[in-house]
Amino acid sequence: MSKAFASEDMSKILLTEEEIQKRVKEMAKQLSDDYRDKNPLMIAILRGAVLFFSDLVREMDIHVELNFLAISSYGSGTESTGDVRIQYDMQESIKDRHVIVVEDIIDSGRTITHLKEILEARHPASIAVVALLDKPSRREVEVEGEYVGFTVPNEFVVGYGLDFAGKYRNIKYIGVLKPEIYA
Ligand code: PRP
Spell out the residues 6+ positions from residue 121 whose beta carbon is closer than 8 angstroms to its own: none
Q: What is the pTM of this model?
A: 0.94
Question: What does the pLDDT read at residue 80?
Answer: 57
Dihedral, CA of residue 133, residue 101, residue 77 and residue 176, to nearest 10:
20
Residue 133 placed within a domain: yes
Closest CA to 105 of 146, 134, 140, 62: 134
Residue 68 placed within a domain: yes
The residues annotated with a catalytic role in the active site are: 107
- List the residue whose alpha carbon is closest to atom 17 of ligand 1: 74
Residue 4 placed within a domain: no
Question: What does the pLDDT read at residue 27?
Answer: 98
Residue 92 placed within a domain: yes
Residue 169 placed within a domain: no
Q: Left if phi > 0, otherwise alpha if psi is -120 to 50, otherwise beta: which for 81? A: alpha
Query: Diameter of the chain by CA atoms?
Result: 52
Question: What does the pLDDT read at residue 66?
Answer: 98
Pocket of ligand 1 (CB under 6 A): 45-48, 72-74, 80, 103-111, 163
Rounded Cα–Cα distance for residues 36 and 26 (Å): 15
Residue 31 placed within a domain: yes
10-residue mean pLDDT profile of the chain (183 residues): values are: 85 98 98 98 97 98 98 61 81 97 96 94 98 97 97 98 97 97 93
Q: Which of 43, 72, 160 to mutate to test the pocket of ligand 1 (most atoms within 8 A of CB)?
A: 72
Q: Is 102 helix (H, G, I), strand (E, B) or coil?
A: strand
Structural domain containing residue 120: 17-152
Number of domains in the chain: 1
pLDDT tens readout for residues 74-123: 555 555 566 678 899 999 999 999 999 999 999 999 999 999 999 999 99
Question: What does the pLDDT read at residue 82?
Answer: 62
CATH code of the domain in which 91 resides: 3.40.50.2020
Residue 5 placed within a domain: no
- List the residue whose alpha carbon is closest to atom 20 of ligand 1: 48
Residue 175 placed within a domain: no
Question: What does the pLDDT read at residue 2?
Answer: 66
